[in-house]
Amino acid sequence: MAKGWTEEGLPASARATAERVRDVAFRLHRAIGPRYRESTYHRFLAHGLRNTGLRVEERVSFDVEFGGLRIERARGADLLVEGELVVEVKAVEHLLPVHRAQIIGYLTISGMPAGLLINFNSARLVEGCHWFVHPRFLRRIADHEEK
């Protein structure tokens, strides 16, 4: 029996917003390539998204609570698009597990349905663009073998 995951109840708007973000990111990468600092891509991406009519918040902070202590603005994502998609911008040689954990953490503490992790320091951006879904929208499925 093979197992996998499916997205249940994920707002269609989150996926549509992600496609629009990916489109702008791909156009940006084609225009300037993989040789700049993260802050450069962050600013160009936010600008490009706003030019397409998307609502973009930058350097969005989230509160974290543990053991009765609440720390305000403890973690911050690069971009929040349309109030439903977290976008984390990187310009590193290789994405590390900590980068993936970072965006999963943002989704978990913010409650946002989905996110994109985009590494602009990739020869081909398709290899540097990764889709993440909040765990509450994931359901385990099983493919039953036919007998």
**121: nearest Cα among 147, 101, 95:** 95
10 has pLDDT over 90: no
97 has pLDDT over 70: yes
Greater pLDDT, 69 or 137? 69
52 has pLDDT over 60: yes
Q: What is the pLDDT of residues 59-75, one digit of tens each?
A: 998 888 889 988 888 77
Report the predicted TM-score, pTM, of the whole model to 2 decimal places.
0.86
H-assigned helices in the chain: 12-32, 38-51, 97-110
Instruction: Quote the CA–CA distance of 47 and 49 in Å, as a whole number.
Output: 5
- Check residue 6 and give its pLDDT: 67
How many angstroms separate the first and last alpha carbons of the chain?
11
Q: Work out the mean pLDDT of the chain and round it to a whole number.
A: 88
39 has pLDDT over 70: yes
CA 140 to chain centre: 21
